[in-house]
Structure 1
Amino acid sequence: MSTLLYRLARWCFQHRRRVLAVWFVLVIAVIGVAQASGGKTSDTFTIPGTESQRATSVLKKDLPAASGGSTQVVFAAGSDITAARYEKAIDTAVTELGTLPQVATVANPYRAGTVSPDKRIALATVSYMVQAGDVKNSTVDGLGPAVRAARSAGLQVEFSGTVYPKPGNAASPELVGLAVALIILLLTFGSLVCAGMPIVTALFGVVISMMGMTALAAVTDIASAATSVGAMLGISCGIDYALFILSRYRTHLLAGHHPREAAGRAAGTAGSSVVFAALSVVIALCGLAVAGIPFLTTMGLAAAGSVLVALLIALTLLPAAFGFAGPRAARFSRLPVLRRALPATRTAVEGPEKLTGTRWATWVVRHRVAVLVTGVIALGVLALPTAHMDLGLPGAGSRPTSDTSRRAYDLTSEHLGVGYNGTLSVVAENITRTAQAQQIATSLGKVPGVATASVATITHRIALISVVPTTGPNDPATTDLVHHIRDDRTAIEGDSGTRILVGGPTATNIDVSTKLGNALPAFLITVVSLAFILLTFAFRTILVPIKSIIGFLLSVGASFGAEVAVFQWGWFKDVFGIDKSQSLSFLPIIVLAIVFGLSSDYEVFVVSRIKEHFTRHGDARQAVIVGTGQSARVVTAAALIMAAVFASFLFTPDPMIKSIGFSFAVGVLIDAFVVRLTLVPAAMAIAGKRIWYHPRWYGRLVPDPDIEGEQLERHLAQHREPTTV
């Protein structure tokens, strides 16, 4: 593989204008398709086969107006909201809301009886003919103008539900991450040219990936979180992969190689590591399909596509960029702000044995047993809060008060009760008489944990019954209530001859969380097994993959522990601008996939340098010191960049994206600095030469991928190719 990548990089270097033109055309084409498709992501999560989904299917068939998206409009007054002037204004607003495109019905609060007992708020429900993800932007934008009469009358109007106006971000988190990445690259390379190349090439990949997701959203459901995850990985992996190859390219330039030859050698060595690292991430993301959950499968495949694009760009567009930069990539900037970084930068290239990373690796190897024991215990302690993880889908109650849905949530909780934010929709089938539906509602009203239960509508032999819990949508007691109704459905149905299904957004979220929790063990086993095979093939030893997997489990456990402490327990909540809530239900499976893939990245980069030195000199412990020292600087820069990109998403108002970005950032930092640059060298120093053992039959049967470039070096020694451009 190293020889193939060597030749590919030299070809791209030689034909740089052609390669650049192809990528430019691809970017323009994808943007055009995305704009023409009009695709839009969705925040609605459904899982086929669950009871809530069956309830939705029944409603979609017999009562479409109750199966689509909905908006809850909260009207609040400082005095009696039933006063004539307020009632007139709300009636006008309800009429205007009913004229919006795609609106099926609007429930008037005075007729529906959704006025609070203290007469301070009134709730109107807008039901749409389509699912939440299919509601047009023009319809959502029309919600505010439609309630102008109510606001003119002095009423406060807020929106919530599955469809509501969402504020735009004042600053794109991607731009924040890119800015931090540029600073780190400048300090790492001491060169504007070298700092700019990874940023520019990563942007090509991000644009292609994001526009591709937009186009796909026109033909399939793609969760909004998928675009955020794709952007995180597209930027971070794109920069990191370019960083590793660029670092080797610069080393070869300063060693006296011609730029084209340096590009080939960099791709043949670091490029091989990048390929295996990227494949580890892709395998982990594609493994999300094992869970059997459509939105999660789509999210994983979309994110895997972003990583593949980043890989292709690193192997083709980056060598072409080397061709445009030429020898300038080896020059150091004269900017005063970078002068302090130059000594360390020059040392990284000219005297790696003097690096801080080498001194750190020497210390770790000298105290290897104590370091390994202390590190494992520390990460184990950090992982302890994971035992208290409570999975769910954080709702409006965890959003910032600047969000209209949060204000609607607070008003409803204060004046009607928190349960009105998580109303359950119970579908009763085989209804032939109104008395049957009323009997079911009466039985539901007697269930412990139910505040009220009333018949909303009856049509086509089905009845829709609204059940208001006494607890909020994310309260564990509400989850218990849903399970209790389902378990006791026979007693609730009685002799009415009907059949009930519990659905609605709150029940759907509960079902999603349950299904995700059940799918976690199978997913973990599948991904770890596939990655074990890949790493065993890459390093031709069994002990390295086992060590890598144990290290990953320590990293991800500590990441989960930190997430629980911050997002569930509220530690440092003011610092991160969050409110306590449940842990995102699909967070564990997403973090397992991505942190596992990224941890394999650093494992490949560090261990490949160690093996490279061991293959040449045969001294296992010295190889640990030299390999770790040579890779520490670039791994540090890569981890800081990746963590900065992930952490930049903490600036978004969405609590789901905040928790994803936080968990990724913590996982990457712990894995890179504690596990890969500390515990891995300690463990490998303890194992010595035994770490590279494999049976003879394995060496005969399994081909050598030459991840260290040893075969390439032999090939170049035997066949000296011309170095002229």
Structure 2
Amino acid sequence: MATWLSRVGAASMRRAWFVIIAWVVALGGVLGGAVALGPNMQESFEIPGTESQEALDHLGSVFPQVAGSSVQVVLSADDGIEAHRDAIEQQAEAIADVGLVAQAVDPWSDFANDQIADDGTVAYTLVQFEPTGGAKPETLDEVVATADALRADGVQVEFAGQVFQSQSVGVTIVEVFGVVFAGLVLFVTFWSLLAAGMPLLTALVGVGITMGGVLGASALVTVSNSAPLMALMIGLAVGIDYALFILSRHRSQLARGMGVIESGSLAVGTSGTAVVFAGITVIVALVGLLIVNIPFLSVMAIGAAASVAIAIAAATTLLPAIMALAGERLRPKAGGRAHRLALRDVDAQPTLGMRWVTAISKRPVLAILGVVVVAVVAALPAASLQLALPDNGREAAGSTQRIANDTLQEAFGDGTTGPLVVMLDITQSTDVMGVIDDVVDELEQVPGVDSIAGAFPDETLDTAIVQVIPTTGPADPATVDVVHALREIAPEIEAEHDTPMSVTGMTAVQIDLSQRLADALIPFGAVVVSLSVLILLLVFRSILVPLTAALGFVLSVLAAFGATVAIFQWGWGAELLHFEPGPILSFMPVLTMSVLFGLAMDYQMFLVSGMREAYAHGHDARSAVRHGFAANARVVTAAALIMFFVFFAFVPEGMAMIKAIAFGLAFGVAVDAFLVRMTLVPALMTLMGEKAWWLPKWLDRALPDMDVEGESLGRHRTALAWAADAGGHLALERLRPELGHDASGSASWTITAPRGAVVRLDGGFAERQRLAHALLGDIGAVGHAHLGGAALPGDAATLRERMALVDLDGHVESAHQAARAALALRSPFAVGPVLDRRATALVERASIAAGAPIDAAAPLSRLAPLERAAVLLTIAMERRPSLVWIDAAAGAPTGAAAIAARLGGDELTIVTSEAAPEAHGRAAIELAPADAAAEDREAEAARAAAEAASADELTESDTPTGELATTGADR
């Protein structure tokens, strides 16, 4: 991946304006589409598979007038509601005439159920919408407009109901402050306004596309009000961080003298690989929320995952393009602070990060105990976590839905705003009203039930509903007990009256949703932690590193949950943060867990990959922890601070639904970055020492190489540098194909051949085949090889395109069939007659090249060796390779090279196993295997002699011991 990403980065930099224009067009197109479609945000808490939802769906088909969304028009007048009866009834009639309104029951209707308060100053009209399509913004606007006449008559009119929860997706000045703080952190990190602005620009472009997509999608599917802000919050945070990682690497490389394009492509290939990996972990965790099977949460997760994916794309394409336009202006000025930091020797001049990790490594046990104690104390409140969905009682003070909710609860009791609906199947009853009355009597005896607001059957007498008013509000934990109590007596009622019973209504649906999310929390957490262990096992090829990372993640999540409970449920600092305490938003834990998981793995990878790199370069285990930490502490600190500021900016003035999520993420990021990753992990790594990198050999062989650190890119750059020095069109230097399980063969191949050369292969057939497949990238190899500048291992795909392997053995199909099959692969949509004509032409071309007619219908295995070679070479030339490789177990027939030269021209490089190849007078270059073991012995002897000579020189030197030590370290 690192090599491919470096090419993406290089291509983006070379075509900077094209990439930038493409992103601008995408941004304009998505935002324009969102405006054209018209955002339509709605709250829909459907939960398939639960009792409440199944009952609600059933009511929608048999009793539609009670199954849709409902609105309570709350009316209050100091001189009494009765004085305004005519006007109130006229309003109810006007509401009933609104399209998609099923019914409007005024306080004096025959169907009303105690809708006037005891003191006569408060009443409400119950409005029921059709099951589908009723609660649209335009419909609500018409309903609200009917209040104008009543207000003119001196009646206060407010509206309550789930559909009146906050419909706006606003961004306040506080969220803008979060971006400003992020900009300040970036400036301090880079000490350059130009560099600081780039991550902000790319993140804002990505967020703009995401927001446009989510808002546009709301016109087609049901999208929660909090979904756009969730996507904005996550997209902005990760977008800035991902660009920060890549840009920081680019500036550091520029400070060391690297060229702009070279540095940019290398930064995208190395840090970009880490960005892609970190982003994928966030995406996987977010998409994993689909298993909870809650539609609105699935839409929210998909929107947030899309924002992360777009942030990855922007960081790896748009950012390199902008870096290319900035060019040399991003290079730190010699002697400047940024330049000094990039070239600083952390041993001679310790950074704050080096001093911090050194202090930790001196007292690792104390550091571990300190982090664990702090995290555990912060996590303690999580034991009393209560989950619920927001209702009108949590809306902003002064809003119509909040005033209506408070008025209803004060006049009629808390339960009025969250009635429960009991559905009865009365198809087996002969005394319908008698059964309903008996059931009502039993329901009134259930603890927590305040009253029965109404009970009546549908027109076909097969379903009846009973409206139960609990004594507590919809978000009160006691209401949950009422729902459970009602469901517990359902079997008794069915047995006694032969009447199946279900509890539904929006309050019951929300309770079921909260319960499902609570039940899914531990399984989802187990999946996320297991995923983190697996991913880090693949990345770091270690057993203990993933386990310590998972332990740290658990501590971070629990601490985030505990702090959120203390603030938002217990009410610590509620006035300061402008909210009212109450149960935690139901989907806050799973969302926090999924997002924090990705961020934790991000910080873990950047810090520990630096430790692993230092360990691989010769540092002992303890020294590797210190140097790896010091190399990446600055950028991880900046990334964590940016995440914290962006998330926390949504807390003081954000939507009620998003506050707890934003706070949990902000607190979790702070704990995970500064306590867990930058304190606990270095302490544990120091204690583990060499054991931290232990991995069983069998597991090491079984695991794929993820190359998150970009090691393959480093090898590829070395290979390209060798190819530039080696010259020739085909060059091999001690190339040794592997035999399997990373065991290289005993045959070593070395040659340099110009374009158009004829190379004669020597050696056994098996050795020749391994060499060919090593060049094609089918098997591994050690050593160097390049073809036209495309070098192994990174350019295996390019070598495969440029090289045609012609195996002359084992063909049973006819020449025409072989040609037709090859053409069909290259042109899969070509019709049969066209393929037949082209195959016939190929066989005729082969006949001309062979100098004799070839029977197109004869099996290839029965043709003369030279005729078979002509057919196969003609087919191979359709790919226009720059090198053709001709081989057979018994050797290629004499004349095969000449046929290849006639078909491919003088520029074609030919490798053949025939004994005396001739191609238009071009002399053959010999390519024979060498004894790799003997070469290794010679190289080892030369290396030992060089080391001995170096030791003699040092012995005779008068250099002081201190300088010797420094020289050795530098070397």
Which TM-score applies when normalising by structure 1?
0.93
Aligned counterparts, 1:447-462, within 5 A? 447-455=446-454, 457-459=456-458, 460-461=460-461, 462=463
The 3 A distance-change label for structure 1 pair 345 and 577 is: farther
Aligned counterparts, 1:250-269, within 5 A? 250-269=251-270
The 3 A distance-change label for structure 1 pair 533 and 42 is: same
The Cα shift of 1:107 comes to 1.4
Contact 1:273 1:608 (C-alpha < 8 Å) held by counterparts: no
1:274 partner letter: V
Output the aligned Cα RMSD: 2.2
Secondary structure of 1:650's match? Answer: coil
2:90 matched residue in structure 1: 92
Contact 1:565 1:571 (C-alpha < 8 Å) held by counterparts: yes
The structure with the largest helix share of the pair is 1
d(CA) in 2 for partners of 1:676, 1:210 = 32
2:144 matched residue in structure 1: 144
Aligned to 1:420, which of 412, 416, 420? 416
d(CA) in 2 for partners of 1:492, 1:704 = 62
2:454 partner letter: V
Secondary structure of 1:501's match? Answer: strand
d(CA) in 2 for partners of 1:267, 1:528 = 28
1:350 matched residue in structure 2: 343
Contact 1:259 1:323 (C-alpha < 8 Å) held by counterparts: yes
Aligned to 1:365, which of 339, 361, 364? 361
2:379 matched residue in structure 1: 383
1:241 matched residue in structure 2: 242
The Cα shift of 1:456 comes to 5.0
Secondary structure of 2:104's match? Answer: strand
1:108 matched residue in structure 2: 106
2:595 matched residue in structure 1: 594
Structure 2's unaligned 5+ residue stretches are 725-971
1:337 matched residue in structure 2: none
Secondary structure of 1:60's match? Answer: helix
d(CA) in 2 for partners of 1:435, 1:635 = 71
1:437 matched residue in structure 2: 436
d(CA) in 1 for partners of 2:494, 2:118 = 30
Say yes or no: does 1:158 pair with 2:151: no
Alpha-carbon displacement from aligned partner over 1:225-248 (angstroms, at most 9, x marks no partner) = 222221111111111000000000
Which structure has the greater CA radius of gyration?
A: 2
Alpha-carbon displacement from aligned partner over 1:443-489 (angstroms, at most 9, x marks no partner) = 22222211111335432322222110111112222111111111101
Residues 670-679 or 443-452, more deviating = 443-452
2:752 matched residue in structure 1: none
Aligned counterparts, 1:594-633, within 5 A? 594-633=595-634
Secondary structure of 2:708's match? Answer: coil
The Cα shift of 1:282 comes to 1.3
The 3 A distance-change label for structure 1 pair 76 and 646 is: same
The Cα shift of 1:39 comes to 5.2
Contact 2:43 2:163 (C-alpha < 8 Å) held by counterparts: no
1:567 matched residue in structure 2: 568
Secondary structure of 1:425's match? Answer: strand
Say yes or no: does 1:394 pair with 2:395: no
d(CA) in 2 for partners of 1:514, 1:283 = 24
d(CA) in 2 for partners of 1:496, 1:470 = 27
Between Structure 1 and Structure 2, how many residues are aligned? 711
Which TM-score applies when normalising by structure 2?
0.70
d(CA) in 2 for partners of 1:23, 1:412 = 51
Contact 1:240 1:642 (C-alpha < 8 Å) held by counterparts: yes
The Cα shift of 1:48 comes to 0.9
The Cα shift of 1:135 comes to 2.7
d(CA) in 1 for partners of 2:100, 2:631 = 61
The Cα shift of 1:167 comes to 7.1
The Cα shift of 1:646 comes to 1.2
1:119 partner letter: G
2:20 matched residue in structure 1: 20
Secondary structure of 1:123's match? Answer: strand
The Cα shift of 1:346 comes to 4.8
Residues 260-269 or 649-658, more deviating = 649-658
Aligned counterparts, 1:308-347, within 5 A? 308-331=309-332, 345-347=338-340
Contact 1:291 1:520 (C-alpha < 8 Å) held by counterparts: no
The 3 A distance-change label for structure 1 pair 427 and 267 is: same
d(CA) in 2 for partners of 1:245, 1:27 = 22
d(CA) in 1 for partners of 2:199, 2:479 = 49
Alpha-carbon displacement from aligned partner over 1:470-513 (angstroms, at most 9, x marks no partner) = 11112222111111111101434574443221111110111011
Aligned to 1:408, which of 388, 404, 418? 404
The Cα shift of 1:633 comes to 1.6
The 3 A distance-change label for structure 1 pair 399 and 343 is: farther
2:555 matched residue in structure 1: 554
The Cα shift of 1:596 comes to 1.0
Say yes or no: does 1:68 pair with 2:68: yes
Contact 2:251 2:332 (C-alpha < 8 Å) held by counterparts: no
d(CA) in 1 for partners of 2:719, 2:171 = 58
1:455 partner letter: G
2:885 matched residue in structure 1: none
Contact 1:103 1:126 (C-alpha < 8 Å) held by counterparts: yes
2:900 matched residue in structure 1: none
Contact 1:232 1:645 (C-alpha < 8 Å) held by counterparts: yes
2:954 matched residue in structure 1: none
1:110 partner letter: W
d(CA) in 1 for partners of 2:130, 2:75 = 23
d(CA) in 2 for partners of 1:578, 1:239 = 29
Q: Percent identity, please.
A: 39
d(CA) in 2 for partners of 1:283, 1:167 = 29
Alpha-carbon displacement from aligned partner over 1:126-149 (angstroms, at most 9, x marks no partner) = 2111457x6322222334321012
Aligned counterparts, 1:281-292, within 5 A? 281-292=282-293
Aligned counterparts, 1:297-312, within 5 A? 297-312=298-313
Secondary structure of 1:110's match? Answer: coil
d(CA) in 1 for partners of 2:602, 2:274 = 8
d(CA) in 1 for partners of 2:341, 2:98 = 63
Contact 1:241 1:311 (C-alpha < 8 Å) held by counterparts: yes
Say yes or no: does 1:181 pair with 2:182: yes
Alpha-carbon displacement from aligned partner over 1:322-350 (angstroms, at most 9, x marks no partner) = 111111123579xxxxxxxx976454323
d(CA) in 2 for partners of 1:381, 1:646 = 23
The Cα shift of 1:165 comes to 6.7
The Cα shift of 1:321 comes to 1.1
The Cα shift of 1:706 comes to 2.6
Secondary structure of 1:573's match? Answer: coil
2:57 matched residue in structure 1: 57
The 3 A distance-change label for structure 1 pair 368 and 343 is: farther
